Amino acid sequence: PALADSLEADVRVAGARTAAEARAVWEEKRWPLDQIERLARARDTGALIAELNRCLEHLFAAPYRRRAAVLSGAELDDPRAFEAAHDALTELRAVVGAGTGVRLDDRALHQTLERLPVRAGENPQPDRVQVASPLQIRARRFAAVFVCGLVEGEFPARAAPEAFLPDADRRELARASGLRLPLREDQLERERYLFYVCASRAERLLVLSTRICDEEGNPVAPSFLLSDVEAVLADLSEHRRTRTLAEVTWSLDAAPTEAEWERAVARTGPRRVEEGAKPLSAPPALEELRAKDALSAGALERFAGCPVKWLVEDVLDPVKLEPDPEQMVRGSYAHRVLEVTFRRLREETGSRRVTQENLPQAERILVAALESESGEFRLSPDQTRVRAAVRRLEFDLLRYIAHEAERDGLFEPEHLELRFGFSDSDHPAVELDDGTRVRGVIDRVDTWNGWALVRDYKSGKTEKYKGSDWERERRFQAALYMLAVERALGLKAAGGVYVPLSGKDRRARGLVLDELSEQLGTDFVPTDRVDPERFEERVAWARAAIHGTAESMRAGTICSLPDSCAWRGGCSYPSICRTED
């Protein structure tokens, strides 16, 4: 089962839609499926059946090779299935090879094997429970018998008219010819006999079960067979046990099974479980969190947005059963294309800044980068949709660099996809004033005369990323990168902004120093420009927020924040969070 689950996950992530594509996904990571080729090369139906039989023997024997396995219990299901399929294939090959003219195509062969009856479960033996109908009991005996469903319409069952010769036709036939056929609707004696079969097979205990109402509370009539029992036996009132609909559980001392006992224990607990996630308390989990050397900038902001979302995506990290969302892949693709574009632009022109003079070169480089990098990013399993998505991304990025060419100011792109705190990065993890060590990747850093402007690309609109909303939205990633640039590069932070790669308004939003307005240029919203005092206040808030978030993260302080969890509000993981609006 683990291999099948793993294959399903790989197939869904890869977007495979055909058996051939699924096979390619399997063989990319695992062993080749040569049996499929041998089956495809079978020259006729007889050869195909023989090859199927060999594959069947191989599949059945593989888990037990070099073992003297003694199978029992549920393990007997596989031998039963093998025996049924092996016998059927042997008989089919004999029929096909007998020269009788019988033809069997692949679909008929598949349907024949699919419909083979295979008995599952353990063989009858002591200390076992068998669920059976009265007709299946026959002459066997049991230590205890529970006869269920003793209500009118179930036991005895309702009369079932004969479809071929209904009772009305039988009566007409009797009047016309004198031939009296038994009526199907007269089943009382048959039902009495079946009840006798059930009741007489118990050696130690006989339990008769009936209902006084159905699951919706509608009354039902007990079976007349119970009256027959009471007429034969003495007073049974002291043996009668009644459970009402209100008794959803047993008492603790009378619970017949472990599951019922657990239900009884749960009933004694609180009537309503408190909503929301609880803080982590397992010592191994807390120790693992405290042992982290450097915290991810993205993880810190995810935790600030909703600790449950951080727990799922950064700690639990479940295996994905579907491809990455198109928007996520599109963002990574755009980041890579812009990085390649700016690097090659400097190689060709000596500068990474896009101007009206080098805009044609930048556009040519960008289009070439889109094509050369396309193999690493799968936007969609649907190739038609991929072409449309790539074309749309090309249009957005061309508009973006055209906007870059119109931008004034003196700052120029210097650092692209700046990594710090990773084993393969040039810069170590950055330690903040409170001792918190962080790592991350900065999309772009523009510099001028010892100053640095942090730019973080966003695929959509950036209205919610304005500096005045950072505290309310718990957004401090740009501020954290500003602090990281100061410590890793030795530059002074001129601001941190979020850059939209699509939409009509291409102006970056965030926080910039008003005293550098001329050097930064006019491509900023006026309300995002602040004086040095206000700038330092925002940075100080970010320091405190980062410190508090890091402390809560290491302490495993988990709580539910559905209002800021998903992009448009609401809970991203309601089945885990269990928070109701």
- Which tens digit of pLDDT belongs to each residue from 47-73? 999 999 999 999 999 988 888 888 887
Choose between 358 and 44: higher pLDDT: 358
**314 and 171 in one domain?**
no
**58 and 141 in one domain?**
no
Residue 289 covered by a domain: no
Residue 89 covered by a domain: yes
- Which tens digit of pLDDT belongs to each residue from 67-120? 888 888 788 899 999 999 999 999 999 988 887 777 788 888 999 999 999 988
pLDDT band at 186 (very low <50, low <70, confident <90, very high): low
**179 and 68 in one domain?**
no
Domain stops at, among 114, 142, 175: 114
**182 and 110 in one domain?**
no
Three-state SS for 531-569 is: CHHHHHHHHHHHHHHHHHHHHHHHHCCCCCCHHHCCCCC
Give the separation between CA 574 and CA 31, rounded to whole angstroms.
Answer: 39
**452 and 420 in one domain?**
yes
Give the separation between CA 63 and CA 57, rounded to whole angstroms.
Answer: 11
| Residues 283/291, Cβ–Cβ less than 8 Å | no
**527 and 468 in one domain?**
yes
| 494-499 mean pLDDT | 96
Return the minimum-mean-pLDDT range out of 99-108, 301-310, 334-343. Answer: 99-108
Q: Tell me the two tokens of residue 266.
A: 């749960």
| 157-180 mean pLDDT | 81
Residue 386 covered by a domain: no
**545 and 477 in one domain?**
yes
Question: What's the predicted TM-score (pTM) here?
Answer: 0.69
**151 and 92 in one domain?**
no
Q: CB-based contacts of 416: which residues, under 8 Å, 6+ apart?
A: 338, 339, 342, 343, 352, 443, 444
Mean residue pLDDT across the chain: 89
- Which tens digit of pLDDT belongs to each residue from 132-168? 999 888 788 899 999 999 999 899 887 766 667 887 8
Strands 202-208 and 142-147: parallel
Choose between 43 and 525: higher pLDDT: 525
Residue 91 covered by a domain: yes
For residue 185, pLDDT over 60 is answered with: no
Residue 566 covered by a domain: yes
pLDDT band at 242 (very low <50, low <70, confident <90, very high): confident
Q: Tell me the two tokens of residue 342.
A: 């700016």
Residue 579 covered by a domain: no
Q: What share of the chain is helix, strand, coil (3-state, %, to 5)?
A: 50, 10, 40
| 506-519 mean pLDDT | 94
The residue count of the chain comes to 581
Residue 131's Cβ-count burial label (10 Å; 0-12, 13-18, 19+) is: exposed
Residue 57 covered by a domain: yes
Residue 52 covered by a domain: yes
For residue 183, pLDDT over 80 is answered with: no
| Residues 473/463, Cβ–Cβ less than 8 Å | no
**418 and 559 in one domain?**
yes
Q: CB-based contacts of 535: which residues, under 8 Å, 6+ apart?
A: 495, 511, 513, 514
Q: DSSP H helical segments within 239-296, as ranges?
A: 258-267, 283-290
Would you tell me how many other CB atoms lie within 10 Å of the CB of residue 129? 8
Provide the pLDDT for residue 320.
78
What is Dmax (Cα atoms) for the chain? 118
Q: What is the extent of the structural domain holding 171?
A: 134-233
**557 and 515 in one domain?**
yes
Q: Which residues of 471-487 are buried (b: 16+ CB within 10 A; e: fewer)?
A: eeebbbbbbbbbbbbeb
Can you give the CATH number for the domain in which 176 is found? 3.40.50.300
Q: Tell me the two tokens of residue 26.
A: 């399997």
**93 and 167 in one domain?**
no
- How many independent structural domains does the chain possess? 3
**139 and 84 in one domain?**
no
Indicate the residue type of 193: Y
Domain stops at, among 65, 82, 114: 114
